[in-house]
Chain A
Amino acid sequence: MFDATDFQPLLARRYTLEVRQQMAWYWQALVIALALIVGLLISAAILVAAGVPAGELLNEFVILTLFDNQSLRAVLFQAAPLIMVGLAGCLAFRARFWNLGLEGQMIWGAIGATAISLFEIGPPALRLPLMMACALVCGLLWALAPALLKLHLKVNEIISTLMLNYIALNFLLHLVYGSWKDPRDSFPYSPQYRVFERLPELLDGLSLAVVIAMLVALFVLWFTGVSRAGLYLRFVDNSPGVARAVGVPVTRVILGTVLLSGALAGLAGFMVTAGQEGRLTHSFYAGYGFSGILIAFLARNQPIAATVVALLVATLFVAGRSLQVFYQIPFSMVQLIQAILVICVASSEFFIRHRIRRIQGGQG
């Protein structure tokens, strides 16, 4: 038999919004995939509006970047620092710390590594490990102040880390326009690293940076999933009060995790300077801080997922550069596309958490 409501005109029907208990993981994955597709379609429409021929889009993004050996290498190479900042984001967010200071920590990591190269500290054989260690320590130290301020004085870390970014940036400019400027020309960058100070290629086209990024991803996976600190971290994330009551060292766990996040960002800074131009430049960090946060958000703070998302973002970076060269589309397009993807995926959670249902027999 027919229900009476079936014959109501559409607008007279009444709907209700309900909070779902749980959604099966495959439905969740489907909703997120749909959100990504919507985001990519919007981005494609913007690209076409900006002057890229629609037919070229597929060619540019998919075929040229993924099926060409050289671009594939470029994507892998680009992915290494992105994996690092993505993992740094995952760690900080797991400690419920909004680390927007990834760029500042990258800048300090790169400055630290460059200092080792400029002042020729250590023998050539030890130079590269020394530079990496220095990058780690400098990034860690730049994250120390906002972490302590948040834990002891409850100073909002969003503002403090961002302010420290601007301070780090101005210090970088002071160096590359000042005493660290390459004496050979007038561009704002430091002298180039020597050959043994750069990350070598291990196999054909596989940079050491990629291997390090993979190892760090495994370490973070162990740290968050297996180690005692990771267990504490999940405890603190779920309920800081209970965690403190049963004797988990809450402050130390959060502090350690945030410092680790800063250290990884510092190493990412060194990877970018060593990998791209082999020297400190005035804008090497641009865009990585945002991408790190985006990767962590899209990966839901899971290290393995972050690695995969970082590869996708790296594809976007590489494709964005070729769009810049061939169609004069500014690199801000890459940031815009990333922002659109974040907005779409964040919005999709609404459909995961709620459902819209028609009220049975609801009569106006």
Chain B
Amino acid sequence: MNMIASWIGNIPDFAVPFALAALGLIVIERSGVLALGAEGLMLVGALTGIGASLMTGGATVWALIIAMIAAAVVSQLFALMVLVMRINQVIAGLALVFFCQGLTGLLGTLMNWTNKPVSGLQSVSLWPLSELPVVGKLFVQNPVVYLTPIIFVLVVLVLNRSVTGLRLRAVGENPQAADAAGIPVLAYRCAAIAAGSALIGLAGAYISVLSTKMWIADMVGGRGWIAVALVIFARWAPWKALAGALLFGCIEALIPQMAASGIRLPQYFVFMTPYAVTLGVMIWVAIVSRDNSSQPGALGEPFIREERR
């Protein structure tokens, strides 16, 4: 019983990075830009979060904000590649991941930020919910966990209920029509990349600053790629992505529980589970649904209006 309670209590901590990264990816991809760079941007967020936390002596809130800004700034390199240089979006996304992996690995060592513990944020109990049996620990979390559903509501409102969101989706569905209607296509895509990347950076900083509380090279460990897959399962719908993130949070939260429970399972096979589940869900989705109707119409296609004057 105790084990189940502590497992449930750990789920949000593992689910939040997936949820925020997937939400950021949805914002970018709804504008018609195929974003494969999440893994790299999460690394940038994770490293700058720790760096800022160490340099400011534990100003965690500022560290998270700086991480978001850093990811948004680095994402403009991607924006330059796909919007201005019109590089194939798959190549640009992969190049961004490799660039960020190299850069964060290098800076983490040169600045001597590796394996230095940071303080993180204090947990906040939501009394009286925190006194509930079994699920009580769900309501003893750091503030960012409570903030995540609010961020989701805000992003969904902007995407689905505002003129800005309508234009953003129009740019992703049919950029030629949006352009004819006078919407600045590239500006919207650029802004979507920056805003989405800030969320992805926050996801990375969550892992390093609030969860692991230190930086280790390549610590994101494929979660960015899982988030990319999550967006595909969720058919670009934010709430479905949140549900998927919770599923992966449940699985990842099981890993330390299994080690603690004394069940004799080969450790490295347990570590494989998130990746195997991702693969399994991808196959399942491919078998069950064949409709691509919810995919942004212009996803992955560069917008080229020739004779631009």
Q: Which residues of A contact B (CB under 8 A)?
A: 14, 16-19, 50-51, 98, 100, 149, 153-156, 158-160, 162-164, 166-167, 170-171, 173-174, 177-178, 290, 293-294, 297, 329-340, 342-343, 346-347, 349-350, 353, 359, 362
Contacts and interface: CB of A to CB of B under 8 A. Distances in A.
B308 A17 contact: yes
Interface stretch (B49-57, B145-153, B156-164, B275-283): B275-283
User: Which 6 A/B pairs are nearest by Cβ-Cβ distance?
Assistant: A332-B105, A336-B102, A335-B102, A174-B268, A339-B99, A153-B286
B278 A163 contact: yes
Residue from A149, A162, A330 whose CB has the most chain B CB atoms within 10 Å: A162
Contacts of B210: none
A339 B105 CA distance: 13
Contact of B279 (A16, A98, A160, A342): A160
Interface in B72-114: 77, 81, 84-88, 90-92, 94-95, 98-99, 101-106, 109-110
6 contacts: A160-B279, A163-B279, A178-B268, A297-B91, A332-B102, A333-B106
Interface residues of B, number: 50
A355 B115 CA distance: 49
Given A162-B225, A330-B110, A339 B268 contact: no
B220 to A, nearest CB: 12
Contacts of B36: 158
B99 to A, nearest CB: 4
Given A50-B106, A158-B90, A167-B275, A332 B217 contact: yes
Contacts of A167: 272, 275-276, 279
B306 A17 contact: yes
Contacts of B267: 174
Contacts of B306: 17-19
Contacts of B269: 170, 174
A139 B81 CA distance: 33
Given A17-B306, A162-B222, A335 B283 contact: no
Contacts of B90: 98, 158
Contact of A333 (B102, B226, B287): B102
B228 interface: yes
A343 to B, nearest CB: 5
B265 to A, nearest CB: 11
Given A50-B106, A162-B222, A333-B106, A338 B91 contact: no
Nearest to B279: A163
A163 B272 CA distance: 9
A174 B276 CA distance: 16
B258 interface: no
A362 B95 CA distance: 39
Nearest to A351: B85
Interface string B216-235: 01000110011011001000
B266 interface: yes
Residue from A16, A149, A166 whose CB has the most chain B CB atoms within 10 Å: A166
Given A154-B286, A170-B271, A338 B102 contact: yes
B152 to A, nearest CB: 23
A170 B110 contact: no
B264 interface: no
Nearest to A152: B286
Contact of A50 (B104, B110, B287): B110
A206 B104 CA distance: 37
Given A332-B102, A338-B98, A339-B98, A347 B286 contact: no
B46 to A, nearest CB: 15
A238 to B, nearest CB: 17
A14 B276 CA distance: 55
Given A158-B90, A174-B267, A332-B109, 4 more contacts: A16-B308, A167-B272, A346-B88, A353-B86
Interface in B265-309: 266-269, 271-272, 275-276, 278-279, 282-283, 286-287, 304, 306-309
A11 to B, nearest CB: 15
Contacts of A353: 86
Contacts of B102: 332-339
A156 B103 CA distance: 27
Nearest to A177: B268
A173 B271 CA distance: 10
B272 A171 contact: yes
Nearest to A333: B106
A285 to B, nearest CB: 13
